[in-house]
Amino acid sequence: MPRSLLVFAFLGLFACQPRATQPPQARASSSIDTAPALPARVAPGVRVGTDPGHAGRGTPLTAQPGHELAAFAEGCFWGSENTFRHVKGVVATAVGYTGGHTKDPTYQSVCTHTTGHAETVLVEFEPSQVSYEKLLNVFWETHDPTTKDRQGPDVGDQYRSAIFTFSDAQLRAARASLENEQKRHKRPITTEITPAPAFYKAEDYHQQYDEKTGTESCPLPLREDTASG
Query: Which residues does the annotation mark as catalytic?
Result: 76
Beta partners for 69? 124
Laid out side by side, the sheet with 118-125 consists of 192-195, 161-165, 68-74, 118-125, 90-98, 200-201
The alpha-carbon radius of gyration of the chain (Å, integer) is 16
CA distances from 142 to 24, 27, 122, 139, 189 (A): 9, 8, 16, 6, 14
Element spanning 60, H or E: none
46 burial type by CB count under 10 A (0-12 exposed, 13-18 middle, 19+ buried): exposed
Rounded distance between C-alpha atoms, residue 51 and residue 168, angstroms:
24
Residue 23, phi then psi, degrees to nearest 5: -60, 150
Secondary structure E strands in 52-158 = 68-74, 90-98, 118-125, 150-151, 154-155
